[in-house]
Amino acid sequence: MIENGGHRLAMVQHFLVRGRVQGVGFRWFVHREASELELKGWVRNTEDGDVEVVVAGAPESLAELRASLHRGPRGSRVDKVIEHPLAESEAESLNAFKIEGAW
């Protein structure tokens, strides 16, 4: 966490996971991993066949989730994980980790 005027702010990351990541339980895998790490945010499929994740939490927990995204669940094939940091203020709109609508 980042100290900012006495407030502890979460780091916020956006991940786009490419490969064979739809139809293999990838979103449920991410949900389980993120929930165990007590991260906030969401995961969803994209129309392009990727999986998108927005997540907030402690740097160590984000590092663990990043490793899980690269590994993926059994039956998946992760070709690439594209990562972008988001503004810390984005964390304010995130709640308990959830799976957003399926396409």
pLDDT of residue 8: 52
Instruction: Say which of 8, 20, 27, 32 is annotated catalytic.
Output: 27
Give the predicted TM-score (pTM) of the model: 0.89
Distance in angstroms (rounded) separating the CA atoms of residues 15 and 17: 6
Record the tokens describing residue 5, joined without a space.
């005027």
pLDDT of residue 7: 44
- Catalytic residue check, 4: no
Instruction: Say which of 45, 71, 74, 77 is annotated catalytic.
Output: 45
Could you give the domains of the chain?
Answer: 2-92 (3.30.70.100)
Count CA atoms within 13 Å of residue 23 on its CB side: 4
pLDDT of residue 102: 57
pLDDT tens digits for range 34-77 = 999 999 999 999 999 999 999 999 999 999 999 999 999 999 99
- Catalytic residue check, 71: no
pLDDT tens digits for range 8-37 = 557 999 999 999 999 999 999 999 999 999
pLDDT of residue 82: 98
Phi, psi of 92 (to 5 degrees): -60, -30
